[in-house]
Chains A and B, each alone.
Chain A
Amino acid sequence: MSKILLIDDEPDILRLLAMSLRADGHDVLTARDGETGLAAFAAQGPEIVLIDIKMPGMDGIEVLRQIKDRETDAEVIIITGHGDVDNAIEALKLGASDFLNKPVRDATLTLALNRAQSKIDIRRQLRDYTSNLEHKIAAATQALQRQAHFQAKLINSSDNGIVATDRNQRIVIYNPGAERIFGHAAAQVLERMHLADLFPAELAREFAQGLRRDSKRREMPWRETVVVSAAGEAIPVRFSGSILREKGRKMGSVAFFADLREIKALEAELVHKERLAAIGQTIAGVAHGIKNILHGLNGGSHLVDVGIQRQDSERLTRGWDMVKRNIARTADLVMDLLSYAKERSPDFEDCAPNEIVREVFELVREKAVAADVALALDLDPAIGRAALDQRSLHSVLLNLLSNAVDACRDDPDADKRRQVILRSAREAADWLRFEVTDNGHGMTEEIRRKHFHSFFSTKGPQGTGLGLMVARKAVEEHGGRIEVNSAPGRGTTFTVHLPCRAAGA
């Protein structure tokens, strides 16, 4: 359905055409002359105009010209008399879309109207498409701009340093994060520097290789490294990089740097705090040891006082023994603390390790006899001579063997035949093994977890709580390791693996 304006001076034809068009469902306006027609066109804006060429006053050609002046897209159909070819041609030149000969027949009229209508439709569609397209393009452009803006913002506000280059390694992106790390101002770097001017040599080389046409390398995964700032400061960073490609062609590179200075500072602080906590723990342990010793000295001197007052020699003796024992405990505690606190590098000396083992064995024998513990020795003659730190070996074995005797002595199982075996063996050309096995009370899981900790002792006043810790420290300083195997009620084996050097080397 269209809005159609009919301009014809003959009222009968006008009425007839109007009736016919309305019957087809069109919206019809009519005018009896050119001026009225133009006014209706201006006021109503019909889509299609039918004009009779021959009219008194303003003729159809003039009306056509004026309509086309106003609205080039207006569909104007001219109605001509039979054979009036000149006027028809003139009208088509002026932009009429069609012409109809009089008398106007319904079929030809419908055909012409349909043609006009489809031209209008096509034009409207085209216009719609165009405006749609323009919208779409505008929207896409905006999105692109936003995205680019967003990316630029992202790059600028990233805490990480971001450095990107074109395929010739020239730096084209250098964000404030990179400024903070490298210290060069962006103006000095952008488009001016190449990667080799900014990055450490090794890193620059990697990118240069990655950008070579034949290189397959694309990603450089995160790793820690060090870059040097403009001021010459070595800055710890986490780094990752990639080679950028577009349609299979290398177009440049990008590198990301996370500044680790703050993290490293925090780590250092944490280590410091842990050390303080360890010192605090150590002091608490020492204080506990000293309080016990003081109590013993206190008690001992009280007994001595009472003994003197009452001429009670039993109390006197007991009190004096107590004082002496607590002096010895003080000495033990101080010695253990000192050897624990002292960093000592092993002193490799030619020796016969089995001799040291035998010496320790002799030292502990008396204590073992007193505790009713059978002490056995099982030496590997293949050990011969070797170079190792004699003092470490001596103190470690003495500690372990003495512990083993204590474990048997304190074992509540009275029916057991208590025994401790001390073994030596050569494991390899440059490794020795020493084992101390007892069948004493063994360790529960809880004790096994704590036995290398400071001031942990199951021996009450007999232990400083430092022995095993000191032993482990000595073994580790010697480059060896110490292992423990234990079952509650069945016994414990401590194994020391110690590296040695060939004698005389």
Chain B
Amino acid sequence: MTQKVLVIDDDPDVRYFSVSSLEEAGYIVLEAGDGAEGREMARAEIPDLILLDVMMPRESGIRLYRDLKTDVALRHIPIVILSGIGEKSFLKSQQALVAEGQAALPAPAAYLEKPVPAETLISVIQRILGREGQASRS
């Protein structure tokens, strides 16, 4: 069965880049332009992996990550962060929430700091989904 990847990013260019790279690698790709839409789609579709941006208007990736990882139905889904924010800053903001009394969360399956070439993005996701590559469309 072909695996489903959900791409959540507010930047249409970045989204298009990720989506087309993943489609080329043979995944079924779902897209969402903000956190709220992303959460709805994750619940409805239960994807095999989520590619998540951190800095987004309306609902930040930091909060969405927390929501996804505390949702019983969704927390098993591996999440790959793709962001211009450094991994340290992301972990620090999660620690700050933990210090406020919120639950500690597992680290993301992978953290990719922009800029990320298409090859890197695909190889990281393939490693996580345990495949040496899906059938290419070409």
Residues of A within 8 A of B (CB): 288-289, 291-292, 294-300, 302-303, 306, 310, 315, 318, 321-322, 325-326, 410, 412, 457-461
Interface residue? B109 (CB, 8 A):
no
Task: With A295-B114, A298-B117 as known contacts, state yes or no: A288 contacts B84, CB within 8 Å.
Answer: yes
Q: Give the shortest distance, in Å, between B7 (CB) and chain A (any CB).
A: 12
Give chain A residues whose Cβ lies under 8 Å from the Cβ of B118.
298-299, 302
Tell me what chain B mostly uses at the interface: helix, strand, loop, or mixed: loop
Instruction: Give the CA-CA distance A459 to B11 in the complex, in Å.
Output: 9
Q: Is the CB of A459 within 8 A of B13?
A: no
Q: Is the CB of B57 within 8 A of A460?
A: yes
Q: Is the CB of B115 within 8 A of A291?
A: yes
Q: Which 10 A-B pairs have the closest CB atoms?
A: A299-B17, A295-B114, A294-B115, A295-B115, A461-B11, A460-B10, A291-B84, A292-B84, A458-B57, A298-B115
Q: Is the CB of A302 within 8 A of B21?
A: yes
Residues of B within 8 A of A (CB): 10-11, 13-14, 16-18, 20-21, 24, 55-58, 84-85, 113-118, 138
For the complex with contacts A296-B11, A302-B21, A322-B13, 20 further pairs of A-B residues with Cβ separation under 8 Å are A291-B84, A291-B114, A295-B84, A295-B115, A295-B116, A297-B115, A298-B117, A299-B13, A299-B118, A303-B16, A303-B17, A306-B20, A315-B20, A326-B13, A457-B57, A458-B57, A460-B56, A460-B57, A461-B10, A461-B13
Give chain B residues whose Cβ lies under 8 Å from the Cβ of A322.
13, 16-17
Q: Is the CB of A296 within 8 A of B13?
A: yes
Q: Give the shortest distance, in Å, between A304 (CB) and chain B (any CB).
A: 11
Give chain A residues whose Cβ lies under 8 Å from the Cβ of B56.
460
Instruction: Give the CA-CA distance A289 to B114 in the complex, in Å.
Output: 10
Of B11, B57, B117, B138, the contact of A292 (CB 8 Å cutoff): B11
Q: Give the shortest distance, in Å, between B132 (CB) and chain A (any CB).
A: 21
Give chain A residues whose Cβ lies under 8 Å from the Cβ of B114.
291-292, 294-295
Give chain B residues whose Cβ lies under 8 Å from the Cβ of A298.
17, 115-118
Tell me what chain A mostly uses at the interface: helix, strand, loop, or mixed: helix
Give chain A residues whose Cβ lies under 8 Å from the Cβ of B10.
460-461
Instruction: Give the CA-CA distance A322 to B115 in the complex, in Å.
Output: 14
Q: Give the shortest distance, in Å, between A86 (CB) and chain B (any CB).
A: 113
Instruction: Give the CA-CA distance A119 to B76 in the complex, in Å.
Output: 112
Task: With A299-B14, A300-B13, A303-B17 as known contacts, state yes or no: A291 contacts B113, CB within 8 Å.
Answer: yes
Give chain A residues whose Cβ lies under 8 Å from the Cβ of B20.
303, 306, 315
Q: Is the CB of A302 within 8 A of B13?
A: no
Give chain A residues whose Cβ lies under 8 Å from the Cβ of B16.
299, 303, 318, 322
Give chain B residues whose Cβ lies under 8 Å from the Cβ of A294.
114-115
Instruction: Give the CA-CA distance A482 to B55 in the complex, in Å.
Output: 27
Of B21, B85, B138, the contact of A310 (CB 8 Å cutoff): B138
Instruction: Give the CA-CA distance A403 to B94 in the complex, in Å.
Output: 30
Instruction: Give the CA-CA distance A294 to B20 in the complex, in Å.
Output: 18
Give chain B residues whose Cβ lies under 8 Å from the Cβ of A412.
58
Instruction: Give the CA-CA distance A321 to B13 in the complex, in Å.
Output: 9
Instruction: Give the CA-CA distance A457 to B14 in the complex, in Å.
Output: 17
Of A306, A315, A318, A460, the contact of B11 (CB 8 Å cutoff): A460
A-B contact pairs, 8 of them (CB 8 A): A288-B85, A289-B84, A292-B14, A295-B17, A296-B14, A297-B115, A298-B117, A302-B17
Q: Give the shortest distance, in Å, between A356 (CB) and chain B (any CB).
A: 30
Give chain B residues whose Cβ lies under 8 Å from the Cβ of A292.
11, 14, 84, 114
Q: Give the shortest distance, in Å, between A478 (CB) and chain B (any CB).
A: 30
